[in-house]
Amino acid sequence: MNRILLFVATNLAVLFILNVSLRVLGVDGMLETQGGGIDMTALLVISAVIGMGGSFISLAISKWMAKRSTGARVIDRPGNRTERWLLDTVARQARQAGIRMPEVAVYDAPEINAFATGMNRNNALVAVSTGLLANMSADEAEAVLGHEVSHVANGDMVTLTLIQGVVNTFVILLSRVVGHVVDRVVFRNARGYGPGYFIAVIVAQVVLSVLASIIVMWFSRRREYRADEGGAALAGRGKMIAALRRLRSNGGEEPELPNEMAAFGISGRTGGGGFAHLFRSHPPLDNRIAALEAAAP
């Protein structure tokens, strides 16, 4: 319930801030002087409903999508010692983190990876690859599970959804405003909307979406450092560092998770430097290892 209230409050806050900002900057008045001004209140509401609504729907079906896209098999009853160990370890870490026991699943993939998703911290899914179980020691796997449980406990799925919803709202709103200004001022179209409006909206939406992706990915990289610290607290700093080193030695920079799940894996896309780095969901493994080592007492 608290997460839903946070989501609603964020919607209202975005509407209020956008409305005030546009009035302070005089954008609404400028639009009206161009003839056929935009109904800013209606546009704000529509932008927030579309921007936030799409993100919220994605979050609501995230567990279902994760299971379907990866073929993850939820462990209802452990069939062997490994599955029993997985359930026991996640249960212990969930108690330490103060959350309800997530669903635990295994998906078939040769890469070493794991991910967590779900609508809230008490209704989540933690999944590990068969490659992780085959190539990591128990201590390393324990640290990876701690990392994923920390994502759940920190509410990272909800936080990233809220951020995505906010930037989506800005993209939708501002692209329409740009289209209106171009149509009225540049093409001097006084009635309806001409081709200039639609072209300007598309171009503005592409450019703003790129900027929005940079913002979302920055937050995503920050949360990975926090989850690493959480994994260190739950399993031990040495185990967490060892797990990241194992990922590095096995080429964990480029995971094979589906695109919609790549940001949620412990090993995410980080390759490339310079400008390309701004669009990566995970920091380089070397940076993550260095951060844990620097924080060691």
10-51: pLDDT as tens digits: 555 555 555 555 555 554 444 444 445 666 777 777 887 787
Token pair for residue 256?
């094979």
Q: Of the residues 148, 253, 256, 260, which is catalytic? A: 148
Buried b (16+ CB within 10 A) or exposed e, 182-212: bbbeeeebeeebeebbeebbeebbeebeeeb
Strands (E), the chain: 73-74, 103-107, 114-120, 123-129
In this structure, are residues 90 and 67 in contact, taking their beta carbons and an 8 Å threshold?
Answer: no
Residue 117, pLDDT > 70, answer: yes
Tens digit of each residue's pLDDT (9 = 90 or more) over 234-245? 999 999 999 999
Residue 67 burial (CB count, 10 A): 18
The amino acid present at 83, given as its one-letter code, is E
Q: Mean pLDDT for the chain?
A: 82
* Catalytic (active site) residue 253: no
Confidence of residue 1 (pLDDT cuts 50, 70, 90): very low
pTM score of the predicted model: 0.81
- Is the dihedral angle over the CA atoms 264, 268, 269, 274 positive or is it negative? positive
**Please, are residues 281 and 269 in contact by the beta-carbon 8 Å criterion?**
yes
pLDDT over 60 (residue 219):
yes
Give the pLDDT of residue 33. 46
Specify whether the CB–CB gap between 187 and 194 falls below 8 A. Answer: yes
Q: How many CB atoms sit inside 10 A of residue 175's CB?
A: 21
Cβ atoms 6, 158 nearer than 8 A: yes
